[in-house]
Structure formats: structure tokens, C-alpha cells
């Protein structure tokens, strides 16, 4: 093959991959497209459905560098025109938090949240996580086909984060419904209206909940944040509401999809499932491999370039939006041998994968997510060792929202205890 022909063929593959990355068909199995992009266009300009050109980074080394690069700002107020075009004005009220800020503001907000979201507080939830897990499985049908997502995968982390924050049990389903609208809405006029309504309802609800915590503190994390706001003036009212929102949203959506992804892959790989549950250490290692293989957080949240930046000979102009593909980076063959294969004995994977990000925005909730995953999967497969998929693996339906924040199943049909 001549060099010119090889270059032309690679250019054709690149164009096809770029076009595919913004389609619904891509959602069923994005990994071949990401593989092409890693090879042919590791820093790739795309035109997603939201209409704002976005540079997508797919190689592991570039991803780690970008996640820690201060020139790629998380403060979307700085990219206000692009921000408005994608999300509209209503999102700003819920985005004044550590996820969408840069130092020194990010440093301040993360320190405050970290002082209340302590390892001791997280570890104290272990008995409650186990109890919630057991109660949910007690209510599941065992011999009939069921969708595990709404019956188990979503309620578990929702109840856990709500217990951590101090959200009353009878208010959790409504909060989850509003969060679901925010997570899955599209970019058309009707979807934007639904997004605006849901965000307004969440904002009003959190304002009311915070006021209740102020009047009747209960020792939960949200009460601690209210106390920090009132006693130290460390948070503005706006920041307090937005911080409560990001903890509620991030604390259950990503874990819910991750539990579903884990169940799917373990059910389709019986030998890997056997290895995963030999002991607690094996389970912890298996959880890390599943985070790497099929992380629920497919792409980073938006960043924007505060100056012209060159990555691998590609110029990202000042003001451009950037996303890092966590999914693509975690399957980079230059870092992970045979990366498309699940290997629950893969060495050093926890220290290497970037499912929880990297750098100053590394996920503050990672210890809680790990604990929930380990308890959920151990309990589920111990109680139902014969659990089977209710459909052929290739017929499983994945989320089809183009260019999404989450990688997960639309449904997870299983039979917990086949006759």
C-alpha cells in the first residue's frame, strides 16, 4: 500500500468515525468508533446535536493531561455564549458548584464539601447500604423476567445519596424524576422546555429543603453544609443550592448506570463472574476492571479553552469547547493490554483507569461509589447465583441520546432465579 493511499484510507476512516460519533446508532456500541478516532483523529472536532463544535479527546495520555490542564476551564460562565446555546439560562442556577468552577473558587468549594463528605461519614453508611440493598432485593420478583434498572440499580444509589444528604424518604422519587429529565433531555424546543421546568422544580425544592435543615438540623451532610454556610459564611446561598444539586445528581445517576453495566458484563462472562466473587479482594479488583471497561461516565463534562492549545498537532482555538472521552481513554491499547476484553484479574487497574477523572476534579464521591458497587454486586450474585439475562446480550438496549454524559443500558431484563 502506498503512503498516499494509506493516508487517503485513514482520512476516509476518520471522516466516517467523526460522522458516526454523533448518531444514535453509535450508542449501541461506540467502542469501534472510538478505536478509529484514537488512531486517526485523537483530537477530533465534532458537530454534536447541540450545535456547538466540540473537540473530543480520545487517547489516554492526552486525556489525563487535559483533565489536569488549567488552560481548559471548567467555569462555564466564562464560555457563557456556548453554555447558553447548549443548556439555556435555567441551568446556571444549578451549576454554581465545584464541578463547574476553577481555582481558587473550586479549591474553596471542594475543601468545604470534603470537610463534610468525610471517609468516616461514608464508611458509617455501610450498614445502611447493605440494608437498602437487601430490602430492594426482597421486593424483586425472582422467577419472572424483570427490568433490574428501575427495581434495583436506580433505587439503591438514590436512597444512599438521599440518606447521606438527609432527603426525606417520601420526597426521593420526585427528586429522582426531575433529575432524570435533566440527564436525558435532548436539544429541541420541547426538550429544552422540559429541562427548564425540571431545573426550576429542583431549585425550588432544594431551597425549601435547605430552609428546613436550617430550622431542624439532623446531622446529615446537607445540614453540615448549611451550618458551614451560616456559621462561617463559606458558601453563598446560590453555591449551597447548587452544591446540594450536584451531590444529589452525581451521587446516584452515575452509580446506577455503573451497577447496570457491571451486571450486564458479569452475566455475559461466566468465568469472569466466577473469578470476581472468590473473595472480597477479588470483588474489589473486579469492580475496578468494570469501571475501566464500561464506565458509566462516558465523556467528561464540558471544558473550554482559555487560550489557543495544541494537542497532538491539533489546534484547539481559544473559546472552543472540549470533552474528554473517558470511555475511549480507558480502552487505549497503549496503556491496557487487550483493552476490549474484561479481565477481573488485570493488575494495577485501580491506579491506572480514569473512570473517576484525574487531577483537581477527581470525583470526590469515588469511595462511596466503590462501596456501593461492591456491596450491590456481592449481595446480588450471592443471593441469586443462577441469575441470567432475559434477552440475548446482543439484543440489550443501550441509551441512545447522542453525545451523552452517561454510558448505560436503557433496560436490563434479567431473571433472578430461573426455574
Residue 370 grid coordinates: 466503590
Give the chain's mean pLDDT.
Answer: 87
The domain of 213 spans 3-415
Report the pLDDT value the prediction gives residue 187, as an integer from 0 to 100: 60
Residue closest to 50 by CA, chosen among 99, 96, 83: 83
**Range with the lowest mean pLDDT among 290-299, 343-352, 401-410?**
401-410
User: Most confidently modeled of 10-24, 79-93, 360-374?
Assistant: 360-374
Q: Confirm if 153 and 412 have CB atoms less than 8 A apart.
A: yes
How far, in Å, CA of 106 to CA of 97, rounded? 8
Residue 402 pLDDT level (bands cut at 50, 70, 90): low
pLDDT at residue 6 is higher than 50: no
The mean pLDDT value for 53-77 works out to: 94
Q: Confirm if 112 and 225 have CB atoms less than 8 A apart.
A: yes
Report the pLDDT value the prediction gives residue 143, as an integer from 0 to 100: 87
CA dihedral 51, 87, 177, 188 (to 10 degrees): -40
pLDDT at residue 391 is higher than 50: yes
pLDDT at residue 327 is higher than 90: yes
Residue 369 grid coordinates: 461509589
Report the pLDDT value the prediction gives residue 184, as an integer from 0 to 100: 63
How far, in Å, CA of 419 to CA of 14, rounded? 49
pLDDT at residue 10 is higher than 60: no
pLDDT at residue 5 is higher than 60: no
Residue 401 pLDDT level (bands cut at 50, 70, 90): low
Residue with more model confidence, 117 or 50: 117
Residues across the chain: 419
CATH of residue 140's domain is 1.10.630.10
Q: Is the peptide bond before 104 cis (omega within 30 degrees of 0)?
A: yes
Per-residue pLDDT of 14-31, as tens digits, reads 665 666 666 667 777 899
Report the pLDDT value the prediction gives residue 380, as an integer from 0 to 100: 98
Report the pLDDT value the prediction gives residue 8, as an integer from 0 to 100: 47
Report the pLDDT value the prediction gives residue 190, as an integer from 0 to 100: 77
The mean pLDDT value for 239-258 works out to: 89
Could you tell me what percent of the chain has a pLDDT over 90?
A: 62
Q: Confirm if 196 and 90 have CB atoms less than 8 A apart.
A: yes
Q: Confirm if 238 and 133 have CB atoms less than 8 A apart.
A: no
**Range with the lowest mean pLDDT among 13-22, 251-260, 302-311?**
13-22
Report the pLDDT value the prediction gives residue 96, as an integer from 0 to 100: 82
CA dihedral for 323, 326, 327, 331, sign (positive or negative) = positive
The mean pLDDT value for 180-196 works out to: 71
The mean pLDDT value for 50-69 works out to: 91
Residue closest to 396 by CA, chosen among 300, 308, 268, 230: 268
Map the chain to HEC letters: CCHHHHHHHHHHHHHHHHHHCCCCHHHHCCHHHHHHHHHHCCEEEECCCCCCCEEEECCHHHHHHHHCCCCEECCCCCCHHHHHHHHCHHHHHHCCCHHHCCCCHHHHHHHHHHHHCCHHHHHCCHHHHHHHHHHHHHCCCCCCCEEHHHHHHCHHHHHHHHHHHCCCHHHHHHHHHHHHHHHHCCCCHHHHHHHHHHHHHHHHHHHHHHHHHHHCCCCCHHHHHHHHHHHHCCCCHHHHHHHHHHHHHHCCHHHHHHHHHHHHHHHHCHHHHHHHCCCHHHHHHHHHHHHHHCCCECECCCEEECCCEEECCEEECCCCEEEEEHHHHCCCCCCCCCCCCCCCCCCCHHHHCCCCCCHHHCCCCHHHHHHHHHHHHHHHHHHCCCCEECCCHHHCCECCCCCCCECCECCCEEECCCC
Residue 37 pLDDT level (bands cut at 50, 70, 90): very high
**Range with the lowest mean pLDDT among 12-16, 305-309, 361-365?**
12-16
Report the pLDDT value the prediction gives residue 27, as an integer from 0 to 100: 75
Per-residue pLDDT of 135-144, as tens digits, reads 999 999 888 9
CA dihedral 26, 29, 35, 36 (to 10 degrees): -30
Report the pLDDT value the prediction gives residue 234, as an integer from 0 to 100: 77
pTM, rounded to two decimals: 0.90
pLDDT at residue 375 is higher than 70: yes
How many domains are contained in the chain? 1
pLDDT at residue 92 is higher than 80: no
Report the pLDDT value the prediction gives residue 58, as an integer from 0 to 100: 97
Residue with more model confidence, 45 or 234: 45
pLDDT at residue 73 is higher than 50: yes
pLDDT at residue 67 is higher than 80: yes
Could you tell me what percent of the chain has a pLDDT over 70?
A: 86
Report the pLDDT value the prediction gives residue 355, as an integer from 0 to 100: 98
Residue with more model confidence, 180 or 339: 339
Amino acid at each position: 500500500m502506498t503512503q498516499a493511499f494509506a493516508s487517503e484510507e485513514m482520512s476516509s476512516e476518520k471522516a466516517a468515525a467523526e460522522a458516526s460519533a454523533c448518531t444514535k446508532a453509535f450508542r449501541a456500541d461506540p467502542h469501534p468508533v472510538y478505536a478509529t478516532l484514537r488512531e486517526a483523529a485523537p483530537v477530533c472536532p465534532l458537530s454534536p446535536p447541540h450545535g456547538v463544535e466540540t473537540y473530543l479527546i480520545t487517547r489516554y495520555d492526552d486525556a489525563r493531561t487535559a483533565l489536569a490542564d488549567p488552560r481548559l476551564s471548567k467555569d462555564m460562565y466564562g464560555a457563557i455564549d456556548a453554555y447558553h446555546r447548549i443548556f439555556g439560562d435555567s441551568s446556571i442556577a444549578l451549576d454554581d458548584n465545584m464541578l463547574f468552577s476553577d481555582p481558587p473558587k473550586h479549591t474553596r468549594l471542594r475543601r468545604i464539601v470534603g470537610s463534610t463528605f468525610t471517609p468516616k461519614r461514608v464508611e458509617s453508611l455501610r450498614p445502611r447500604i447493605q440494608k437498602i440493598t437487601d430490602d430492594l432485593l426482597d421486593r424483586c420478583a425472582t422467577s419472572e423476567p424483570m427490568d433490574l434498572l428501575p427495581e434495583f440499580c436506580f433505587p439503591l444509589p438514590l436512597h444512599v445519596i438521599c440518606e447521606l444528604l438527609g432527603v426525606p424518604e417520601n420526597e426521593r422519587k420526585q427528586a429522582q424524576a426531575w433529575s432524570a429529565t435533566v440527564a436525558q433531555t435532548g436539544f429541541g424546543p420541547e426538550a429544552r422546555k422540559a429541562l427548564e421546568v425540571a431545573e426550576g422544580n429542583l431549585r425550588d425544592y432544594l431551597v425549601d429543603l435547605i430552609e428546613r435543615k436550617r430550622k431542624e438540623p439532623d446531622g446529615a451532610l446537607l445540614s453540615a453544609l448549611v451550618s458551614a454556610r451560616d456559621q462561617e459564611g463559606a458558601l453563598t446561598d446560590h453555591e449551597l443550592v447548587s452544591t446540594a444539586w450536584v451531590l444529589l445528581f452525581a451521587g446516584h445517576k452515575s452509580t446506577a448506570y455503573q451497577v447496570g453495566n457491571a451486571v450486564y458484563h458479569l452475566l455475559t462472562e461466566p468465568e469472569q463472574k466466577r473469578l470476581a466473587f472468590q473473595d472480597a479482594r477479588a470483588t474489589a479488583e473486579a469492580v475496578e476492571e468494570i469501571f475501566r471497561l464500561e464506565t458509566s461516565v462516558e465523556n467528561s463534562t464540558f471544558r473550554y479553552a482559555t487560550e489557543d492549545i495544541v494537542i497532538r498537532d491539533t489546534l484547539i482555538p481559544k473559546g472552543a469547547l472540549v470533552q474528554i472521552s473517558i470511555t475511549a481513554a480507558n480502552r487505549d491499547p497503549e496503556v491496557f493490554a487487550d483493552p476490549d476484553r474484561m479481565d477481573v484479574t488485570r493488575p494495577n487497574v485501580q491506579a491506572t483507569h480514569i473512570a473517576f477523572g484525574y487531577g483537581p476534579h477527581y470525583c470526590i464521591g469515588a469511595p462511596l461509589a466503590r462501596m456501593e458497587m461492591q456491596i450491590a454486586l456481592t449481595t446480588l450474585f450471592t443471593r441469586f447465583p443462577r441469575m441470567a439475562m432475559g434477552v440475548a446480550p446482543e439484543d440489550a438496549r443501550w441509551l441512545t441520546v447522542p453525545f451523552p454524559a452517561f454510558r448505560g443500558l436503557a433496560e436490563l431484563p434479567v431473571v433472578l432465579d430461573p426455574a
